[in-house]
Amino acid sequence: MHRGLLSPSPPMSTASSRPRPPINGDFYDWFSTLPDEVNAARLKLRDFMSGEWEPQANGYWERAEFPREYLVGKMKELDLLHGAYTPERAGMATVMDGLLSMEFARVDPSLATFFGVHAGLCMGSIALCGSEEQQAEWLPALRRWDLIGAFGLTEPDVGSGVARGLTTTCRREGDTWVLNGQKKWIGNSTWGDIVIIWARDEADQSVKGFIVRTSLPGYSAETMQGKIAQRTVLNGLITLSNVRVAERDRLQRANSFADTQRVLVTARCGTAWQGVGCAMGAYEHSLRYAQERTQFGKPIGSFQLIQMMMVKMLGNLTAMIGLALRASELQDRLGPKDEMSALAKQFCAAKCREVVQLARESMGGNGILLEFHVARLFADAEAIYSYEGSNEINAMIVGRAVTGYSAFV
């Protein structure tokens, strides 16, 4: 069995008596600049992900199974959301969320999505768009993982164009709202407790957000089948048939799509970090393999062309960390800015794709076997590339900011 990310490099090379350098995806030591709390949480999560989850990850991915009781129990134990959306994390919320996303994705991007949808998009919607009463009612239980959240924006016929194209409707009837429509791709929605549903008001066409309990009559979600990326996280196709939601569960500070956008922009750095993590895992596996695998009587890591692959991966990865970290620090200091988080996501997701491709290539046939881990990261990078704004959409956000011309139709 190929060794996982926690196992140390063997002390001595078989081809020479020199010790091998350590495997370290943080070549420029960026992590030494992080606040102590962030590093402590990051390393606690790394222990779990590399030590306990990684040996099981391929099996769950292959079977497209999400062991929810086990994972939710682990999330409670790790208590990663302690202080999230409170003054305790003020000034480092984006950096903390980003580094945790990275550690999840370094071993398993599916779990990064599970985390991101719950902690970033669902809790973020309530924190940014909910009233103080709604925040007090929902955030503590979500923080403790006693409730699991999802975020329903995308629809079967509308993805990138949700700003104008949302077709799910809401209609006010006294103190309740009646919701109708479908949502596609919604992570955690087939088994979680609540979903933030974004819908268009039949009366004035404005977009509103609702905290929808998945137990409500008229709510159903079927697990999407046949994914070739992030198979472990379960994505749902939700159908809302005359779901009646109380006015008190309408997000009180969500009045238009601009408010939905605030949630997306705030959470987007987390997806950039998913790209960093996925690339870091692939690079580290690939490097270990290059040190161990021999051909023509020599470690393949001694071949110039393989070394070039390592250097290209490392250069990309090092730049990605620097860019994601700077974007997150700026967001924590100055507040979210559309083009800042869009550039981080666009760059990191695109470079992640290049890194996982090189890692896969460096491992020959074993690069497409799950047992060697890179195959899973190679496939999972495709999901990171497409969600939270595709490559093109994020490029157009940045392009609009720097040229002054909008390419959106």
Ligand X SMILES: Cc1cc2nc3c(=O)[nH]c(=O)nc-3n(C[C@H](O)[C@H](O)[C@H](O)COP(=O)(O)OP(=O)(O)OC[C@H]3O[C@@H](n4cnc5c(N)ncnc54)[C@H](O)[C@@H]3O)c2cc1C
Q: Please identify, using beta-carbon distances, which residue of 46 and 231 lies nearer to ligand X.
A: 231
Select 325 or 383, whichever has its Cβ closest to ligand X.
Answer: 383
Longest distance between any two alpha carbons in the chain, whole Å: 79
Q: Do residues 34 and 99 lie in contact, with contact meaning Cβ atoms separated by under 8 Å?
A: yes
From candidates 153, 166, 170, 397, binder to ligand X by CB under 6 A: 153
Neighbouring CB atoms inside 10 A of 96's CB total 23
The CA distances from residue 200 to 39, 47, 126, 269, 389, in Å, are 42, 44, 18, 27, 20
Q: Establish if 67 lies at the interface with ligand X (CB under 6 A).
A: no
Q: What stretches of 214-291 adopt beta strand conformation (E)?
A: 219-223, 235-246
Q: What is the dihedral of CA 124, 52, 348, 233, to 10 degrees?
A: -60
- Rounded to 5 degrees, what are φ and ψ at 143? -60, -40
Q: Is 63 exposed, middle or buried (0-12, 13-18, 19+ CB in 10 A)?
A: exposed
Q: Is 392 in the site for ligand X (CB under 6 A)?
A: yes
Provide φ and ψ at 346, rounded to 5°.
-60, -45
- Tokens at 93, concatenated: 């919320």
Task: Name which of 190 and 331 has its Cβ closer to ligand X.
Answer: 190
Enter the tokens of residue 317.
């990865």
At its nearest, how many Å lie between ligand X and the CB of residue 387?
4
Question: Measured from the CB atom, is 72 or 224 closer to ligand X?
Answer: 224
Of 26-34, 48-56, 245-253, 384-392, the segment contacting ligand X by CB under 6 A is 384-392
Residue of 78, 390, 400, 401 that binds ligand X (CB under 6 A): 390
Closest residue to ligand X, judged by C-beta, is: 159
Q: Which one among 48, 60, 114, 151 touches ligand X, defined by CB under 6 A?
A: 151
Q: Does 393 bind ligand X (CB under 6 A)?
A: yes
**Piece in contact with ligand X (CB under 6 A), picked from 22-30, 35-43, 150-158, 169-177:** 150-158
The half-sphere exposure of 160 on its side-chain side, counting CA atoms within 13 A, is: 12
Shortest Å, Cβ 354 to ligand X: 17
- Provide, rounded to whole angstroms, the least separation between the CB of residue 269 and ligand X: 16
Query: Which of residues 219 and 289 has its CB atom nearest to ligand X in the complex?
Result: 219
**Near ligand X by CB under 6 A, which window of 94-102, 149-157, 239-247, 291-299?**
149-157
Question: 190, 125, 193: which is closest to 153 by C-alpha?
Answer: 125
Nearest distance from residue 115's CB to ligand X, in Å?
Answer: 12
Q: How far is CA 44 from CA 4, 31, 112, 117, 295, in A?
A: 17, 14, 15, 21, 37
If one counts every other C-beta atom within 10 angstroms of the C-beta of residue 302, the result is 16
Please calculate the CA angle 275-281-284 and round it to the nearest 5 degrees: 135
Q: Which of residues 4 and 120 has its CB atom nearest to ligand X in the complex?
A: 120
Q: Are 231 and 93 in contact (CB under 8 A)?
A: no
**Number of residues near ligand X (by CB under 6 A):** 19
When asked if residue 386 is in the footprint of ligand X (CB under 6 A), the reply is yes
Candidate residues 96, 383, 397, 398; the one interacting with ligand X per rule CB under 6 A: 383
Q: Which one among 387, 397, 398, 399 touches ligand X, defined by CB under 6 A?
A: 387
What is the C-alpha to C-alpha distance for residues 154 and 390, in angstroms, rounded to an integer? 13
* Contact by Cβ (8 Å): 217, 267: no
State which residue, 141 or 393, has the beta carbon closest to ligand X.
393
Q: Are 85 and 37 in contact (CB under 8 A)?
A: no
Q: Which is nearer to ligand X, 67 or 159 (CB)?
A: 159
Task: Return the residues of window 154-193 that contact ligand X according to CB under 6 A.
Answer: 154, 159-160, 185-187
Site for ligand X in 193-252 (CB under 6 A): 230, 235
194-201 and 149-152 beta bridge pairing: parallel
Q: Choose the binding region for ligand X from 89-97, 148-156, 206-214, 267-275 (rule: CB under 6 A).
A: 148-156
- 369 lies in the site for ligand X, by CB under 6 A: no
Q: Per-residue x/- mask for ligand X, residues 329 to 368, rule CB under 6 A?
A: ----------------------------------------
Q: What is the sign of the dihedral through the CA atoms of 351, 355, 358 and 361?
A: negative
Chain contacts with ligand X (rule: CB under 6 A): 117, 151-154, 159-160, 185-187, 230, 235, 383, 386-387, 390, 392-393, 409
